[in-house]
Amino acid sequence: MRRLIVALALVASVLFPHTAAAVGVRASSADLLGAVSSDSAPIIDGLTLAPNVPRTNDLLQANVVAHNPDGNPVALSYEWSRNGTVISGAASSALYLSTSGVGDRGDTISVKVKASDGQLSATASASVVVADSPPTVTVALSDASPMTNSLLTATATASDPDGDSLTYTFRWQVNGVTVETATGPNPADGFDLSLTGNGDRGDTLTVQVTATDGTLESAPASASAVVMNSAPVVSASLSDPTPDKKDVLVATAIAEDADGDPLTLIYVWRVNGAVTRTTTTAESTDDFDLGLVGKDDVVTLTVTATDGSATSTPAAASATVGKTNDDD
């Protein structure tokens, strides 16, 4: 009320100087300033940035606490800058660092906050430095069911928010034991199962991959496969491609199994396409008596090998029976 009276008196002293003097009211500049400056400026109590160690793809949030001593409402405005240059269009309390050109590793990001009640205002600033972001990586194997002699390839797929060049480390394990490690810029690595100790039938193979940007390392990624049973392979030959009909034809089979399993051989003899005899044995040879075979008959042999679970592709050989000295 006093300020109102003083203000009225000042107005009166200007308009009616003689009257003001008559009533004993003296106007001064201090009284005038007091009458006009009754509003108090807002106060910014606190300004923090979260997270306080941001990374390239984070959402950076400015948290402000402000008040006005007069109880007037306070409006907040924001100005963000990168390395001292104002970021165009960034005027909210949050800044998406994932936006291109807004903030990358090593950049200094600052915010200036202005608190205003419409007439008076206060400002505050805060800054943070964008930290390095670790890469991320996944890995896949070229074959989910490799065989004992397979060449297995692991291929890593990695990304780095900062666009850094990456180095990969591949750790190969057989039944949980690391047997081979490779490090380099190549995102793929091979593992030769034919080498001793690198995996046999029934073994579990695991590859673990990490990627590093030279400062930070990714979380490990892994992939696994179980070594499957390998089918045996076999070849066959006959002792004579043009035997006499009184000869005994001898078949020889050469069979191999990558897993080292014992093998059983199945010999199937045919004369002119008709099955004449079948022999199942562990022996690598089998005999066929041509005594009942006629001249120009075609004898065909088919051999397969089995390890009890898998069977080889058949191998074949044939001979054409000639005449004996008794023939006319």
Q: What is the pLDDT of residues 46-92, one digit of tens each?
A: 999 999 999 999 999 999 999 999 999 999 999 999 999 999 999 99
Q: Alpha-carbon Rg of the chain, whole angstroms?
A: 46
* Residue 19 neighbours by CB under 8 Å, 6+ apart: 12
Pairing outcome for strands 248-256 and 285-289: antiparallel
Q: pLDDT value at position 55?
A: 95
DSSP label at residue 290: G
pLDDT of residue 39: 82
**3-state SS, residue 220:** coil
pLDDT at position 14 is: 40
Compute the distance between CA of residue 272 and CA of residue 8 in angstroms, rounded to an integer.
134
Tell me what pLDDT residue 324 has: 61
pLDDT digits (tens, 9 = 90+) for 203-249: 999 999 999 999 999 999 999 999 999 999 999 999 999 999 889 99
- Candidates 259, 253, 262; CA nearest to 316 is 253
Helical (H) or strand (E) element with 22? helix 17-23
- List every span in the chain annotated with CATH 2.60.40.10: 43-129, 137-226, 233-320
Interior/surface letters 19-51, b for 16+ CB within 10 angstroms, e for the rest: ebeeeebebeeebeeebeeeeeebebeebebee
Q: Tell me if the domain spanning 137-226 has CATH number 2.60.40.10.
A: yes
CA distances from 159 to 187, 210, 241, 258, 293 (A): 11, 12, 64, 39, 72
Q: How confident is the model at residue 34 (pLDDT cuts 50, 70, 90)?
A: very low
Quote the pLDDT of residue 292: 86
Q: What is the enclosing helix (H) or strand (E) of 23?
A: helix 17-23
User: Under CATH, to which class is 233-320 assigned?
Assistant: mainly beta
pLDDT over threshold 80, residue 17: no
**Lookup: tokens for 218:** 């990714």
Strands 167-174 and 204-212: antiparallel
Residue 32 has pLDDT above 70, yes or no: no
Statement: residue 271 has pLDDT above 80: yes
Residue 82 structure tokens: 């990168």
> Does domain 43-129 fall into CATH 2.60.40.10?
yes
Higher pLDDT, 327 or 182: 182
Q: Give me the mean pLDDT over the 260-280 stretch.
A: 97
